[in-house]
Amino acid sequence: MPELPEVETVRRGLAPVMEGVVISQADVNRPNLRWPFPPDMAARLTGQRVLGLRRRSKYILADLDTGETLLIHLGMSGRMLVSGDPLGQFVHDHPAPEKHDHVVFHMENGARITFNDPRRFGAMDLFATTGADDHPLLSKLGPEPLGNAFDEAHLVSALAGRNTPIKSVLLDQRIIAGLGNIYVCEALFRAGISPRRKAGHISARRGAALVPIIRDVLRDAIEAGGSSLRDFRQADGELGYFQHSFDVYGREGQPCRRDGCDGTVGRIVQSGRSSFYCGKCQR
């Protein structure tokens, strides 16, 4: 599933052709994805101007001039692909419709944005912009890891007294919004912390040091266009490249990349998910 860097990469790719532009026509080609689409979604979107695109955790939010916000979740295999861009940033002509093109936005500037989702785990919803923070998918999310509310005091307090592994705490969306398995593994490697270590056993100093490390990992991934492991594509159809920079994720049995460490990357399963780490230099 796309994590924060992938969703932010898609948002940035969509912004030049959607922000400030009217959706001249919205096509909704099926009644549902993971959940049913909101009533009359095509009619409620057609003719509306997109005031801005923002991201909350792993969701893209498009604020409309009607006072409603469109929520987009890519799910496991969802893609938002741009074609016919009049700004010259995307060279793709409009492709022929495909079987899994479930929602299509025809923009007034000639661009077309297609939501393609073979596995149909994605989702869309429409709701009042003023009540966005109370939406069931957003109301319990923790602070954004790249925002000011995510600071050393917040994380140290969240770790204190917890008897669960640090890996599980960092994946808890109520504590930090948008982090997923890939980037937690990478951040813990850079911090030299084992994913097995109990969160409450991590000193305040090491917990505070995790904050800038998490931010650096996410910024590096965004700069590389995210990570493409299976289905993820940027808005122009290109792959992300951060997977070529993984220190531990997916590198089971390979040498540790930390200077001076002769360990190898191992893999364990925690709560049904693979954790990759170096048992020699992550403590």
| Average pLDDT, integer, range 260-280 | 96
- 227 pLDDT higher than 70: no
What is the C-alpha separation between 112 and 114, in angstroms, rounded? 6
User: Quick one: CATH architecture of 4-134?
Assistant: Alpha-Beta Barrel (3.20)
pLDDT band at residue 13 using 50, 70 and 90 as cut-offs: confident
Determine whether 145 is an active site residue. no
Q: Which of 40-44, 45-49, 105-109, 239-243 has the lowest mean pLDDT?
A: 239-243
Q: Which residue has the higher pLDDT, 59 or 95?
A: 59
Determine whether 3 is an active site residue. yes
| Average pLDDT, integer, range 79-96 | 70
Of residues 55, 58, 167, 190, which has the active-site annotation? Answer: 58
Would you tell me which CATH number, out of the four given (3.40.50.10490, 1.10.287.3510, 3.90.1150.10, 1.10.8.50), belongs to the domain 152-278? 1.10.8.50
- 239 pLDDT higher than 50: no
DSSP assignment of the chain, as one string? ---HHHHHHHHHHHHHHHTT-BEEEEEE-SSBSSSBPPTTHHHHHTT-BEEEEEEETTEEEEEETTSEEEEEE-TTT-EEEEES-TTSS--PPPPPP-TTEEEEEEETTS-EEEEE-SS---EEEEEEGGGGGGSTTTTT----TTSTTS-HHHHHHHHTT--SBHHHHHH-TTTSSS--HHHHHHHHHHHT--TTSBGGGS-HHHHHHHHHHHHHHHHHHHHTT---SSS---TTSPPP-GGGG-SSTT-TTSBP-STT---BEEEEEETTEEEEEETTT--
All structural domains of the chain with their residue ranges: 4-134, 152-278
pLDDT band at residue 3 using 50, 70 and 90 as cut-offs: confident
Average of per-residue pLDDT values in the chain: 90
Structure confidence at residue 95 (pLDDT)? 72
pLDDT band at residue 241 using 50, 70 and 90 as cut-offs: very low
Determine whether 198 is an active site residue. no
pLDDT band at residue 240 using 50, 70 and 90 as cut-offs: very low
Of residues 49, 120, 273, 280, which has the active-site annotation? Answer: 273
- 158 pLDDT higher than 80: yes
Q: Which of 12-26, 71-85, 130-144, 189-203 has the lowest mean pLDDT?
A: 71-85
- 231 pLDDT higher than 60: no
Determine whether 196 is an active site residue. no
